[in-house]
Structure 1
Amino acid sequence: MVTRTIIAPSVLSADFSRLGDEVEAVVRAGADWIHLDVMDGHFVPNITFGPPVIKAIRDRTDKIFDCHLMIAPADPYLAAFADAGCDIITVHAEAGPHLDRS
């Protein structure tokens, strides 16, 4: 069985003032998915972006948005990220007391 490798570059190092353009550039370069590292300044020391920014760039591509939530707690925000356009949402087991509810 042949498996296909999925390329999902992170836009963490993108110019956030041009994030939509940067997403389009990654797509033109051949990305299969767009990986979005969401950081809250609590679970991890950096702060990136939240659902409003993801929603703002969602219409720039129809590629899958792979959203990696490095936030705590994650559970209260899952619906907001899904509604913003995240297709895949990854949470950390230690980011909340009820992983089974995530």
Structure 2
Amino acid sequence: MRNRIIPSLASAKQLYLAEEITRIEALGFQEIHLDIEDGNFINNITFGMSTINEMRYLTSLPFNIHLMVTQPEKYVCILKNCSPCSVFVHVESCQNIAEVILYCHQNNISIGLAFLPTTPLENYSYLIKRTAMILL
């Protein structure tokens, strides 16, 4: 198993994202973790797709994306244009998680499953084997 630290921009001030990305690069990190929240799956709202697209022009660092949204399958299709290195999808928010996993595999996106603390993992063991990582 490969452990690594991936800095997150979830708490960064939106007006200073460019400076934070530059700082992450200067510190030698290899990826940036981005939480996308829609205000439906969870109450918070972080980055929208327009912000993610703009960040793509600021850095060549790979994006590690955590989707905390309803209907994540719609986001995964759009995110393909941002060349994410990996995407975490919550099993609780997806109607057909197997299709999302297949789509990611077909588009060379490393897929991970994300779980709320109350979700029993054993119900998804058959899918965990088809993904690269899990996020609890």
Deviating above 4 A after TM superposition, structure 1's stretches of 4 or more consecutive aligned residues are none
2:88 corresponds to: 90
**Could you tell me which of 27, 31, 36 is aligned with 2:25?**
27
What SS does the aligned partner of 1:90 have?
Answer: strand
Larger gyration radius, structure 1 or structure 2: 2
Percent identity between the two aligned chains: 32
Deviation at 1:62, TM superposition (A): 1.5
**Could you tell me which of 56, 63, 77 is aligned with 2:54?**
56
Matched to 2:75, the amino acid is: Y
Deviation at 1:91, TM superposition (A): 0.4
Matched to 2:73, the amino acid is: D
> Does the Cα contact within 8 Å between 1:6 and 1:32 map onto a contact in 2?
no
1:46 corresponds to: 44
Deviation at 1:26, TM superposition (A): 1.4
> Does the Cα contact within 8 Å between 1:51 and 1:84 map onto a contact in 2?
no
Deviation at 1:4, TM superposition (A): 5.3
What SS does the aligned partner of 1:68 have?
Answer: strand
**Could you tell me which of 67, 84, 93 is aligned with 1:69?**
67
Report the TM-score, using the length of structure 1 for normalisation.
0.88
Unaligned runs of 5+ in 2: 101-136
Counterparts of 1:50 and 1:78, CA distance in 2: 13
What SS does the aligned partner of 1:43 have?
Answer: coil
RMSD: 1.5
Count of residues paired in the alignment: 100
Counterparts of 1:61 and 1:7, CA distance in 2: 18
Structure with larger RCO (C-alpha < 8 A, sep 6+): 1
Deviations 1:35-77 (A, max 9, x none): 0011110101100112211110112222110010000111122
> Does the Cα contact within 8 Å between 1:55 and 1:85 map onto a contact in 2?
no
